[in-house]
């Protein structure tokens, strides 16, 4: 087996922690004020986007989002809804 004394940076991206999720943050893109709280507070660092209101593009990455609900909790205008995921 290939075995090094080091690991390659950023390779945890291969580990799709999205499979842990029970609830999914549904970004409504309605009242969004573009405050970026969802981006800043995500423990996975897996939320990205920009814009406001209906032009907002914020999304969590389904590959990594563990469904903690912090983004929904910290959204000041309740524009993110936690929904149980269809299996």
By CB under 8 A, is residue 84 in contact with another protein? no
Nearer to another protein, 20 or 30 (CB): 20
Q: Which residues contact 55 (CB under 8 A, 6 or more apart)?
A: 29
Q: Does 17 sit near another protein (CB under 8 A)?
A: yes
Question: How large is the greatest C-alpha to C-alpha distance in the chain, in angstroms?
Answer: 53
Contact with another protein (CB under 8 A) among 20, 30, 52, 55: 20
Of the pair 32, 68, the CB lying nearest another protein is at: 68
> What is the C-alpha to C-alpha distance for residues 9 and 41, in angstroms, rounded to an integer?
22
Q: Does 44 bind another protein (CB under 8 A)?
A: yes
Q: What is the spatial distance between Cα 44 and Cα 52, in angstroms, rounded to a whole number?
A: 23
Q: How many residues does the chain have?
A: 87
Position 62 contacts another protein (CB under 8 A): no
CA distance 23 to 7: 32
Binding residues (CB under 8 A) for another protein: these are 1, 3-17, 20, 36, 39-50, 61, 63-64, 66-70, 72-74, 82
């Amino acid at each position: 087996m290939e075995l090094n004394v080091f690991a390659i940076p950023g390779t945890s991206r291969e580990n799709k922690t999205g499979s842990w999720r029970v609830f999914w943050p549904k970004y409504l893109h309605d009242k969004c004020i573009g405050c970026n709280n969802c981006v800043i507070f995500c423990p996975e660092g897996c939320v990205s986007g920009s814009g406001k209101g209906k032009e907002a593009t914020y999304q969590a990455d389904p590959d990594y989002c563990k469904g903690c609900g912090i983004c929904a909790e910290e959204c000041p205008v309740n524009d993110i809804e936690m929904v149980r995921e269809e299996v």
